[in-house]
Amino acid sequence: MIKLIVGTEAMFFLALIMAFVYFSFSPDFRSHQLLSLDMKSTGIFSILLFSSSFTFWRAEINYQKGKIKQLRLWLLFTILLGGIFLFGQGREYLSLLNNHVSISSSIFGTSFFTLTGFHGLHVFAGLIVISIVTCLAFLGDYNKPGSSVITAVGIYWHFVDVVWLFVFIIVYVVPYF
């Protein structure tokens, strides 16, 4: 089931990324992009999101070894890092809106907010699921290794991080070349 979900989500994000790239050939798109985005700040928040894949991986390893206290700790770190990333995205959105860049202000605004907004929605959904898993871990539902839930949630979370790697490169890095 998780493979089907990730597969359909991959196609969805591929379509959004292709649309972003297509619209980037619009005459005023690049100037809006270069003037509006803060690659340094977003880069820092991106590193934190990528680090959350490491923390979730550590949670998975500890679960497999039956180390439930460490599972809980690493899941909490994952939630913290994902939450900080969303905070950074919200901060960037606020900055863009203060600079009169919105979803309806230009083709750049439309494609940027659509692509990054849907990614943020997926991060948020992942954080909800990880929070539920964390609560269940604290309640004792994962005291014995063997559940496939942790692995399934991990596949989704790592997928969301990989998607952001592509989004970050295409939206923030490529325009400078």
The ranges assigned to domains in the chain are 2-176
Q: Give the model's pLDDT for residue 66.
A: 94
CB atoms within 10 A of CB 105: 16
What pLDDT shows up at residue 29? 82
Q: What was the pLDDT predicted at 51?
A: 98
**Whole-model pTM above 0.85?**
yes
- Fold type of domain 2-176: Four Helix Bundle (Hemerythrin (Met), subunit A) (1.20.120)
Q: Between the CA atoms of 59, 121, 42 and 71, what dihedral angle is there, to the nearest 10 degrees?
A: -10
- From first to last of its 177 residues, the chain has per-residue pLDDT tens of 888 999 999 999 999 999 999 999 888 787 777 778 999 999 999 999 999 999 999 999 999 999 999 999 999 999 999 999 999 999 999 999 999 999 999 999 999 999 999 999 999 999 999 999 999 999 999 888 789 999 999 999 999 999 999 999 999 999 888
DSSP secondary structure letters along 49-88? HHHHHHHHHHHHHHHHTT-HHHHHHHHHHHHHHHHHHHHH
Q: How far, CA to CA in Å, does 49 sit from each of 46, 70, 135?
A: 5, 20, 21
pLDDT at 145: 79
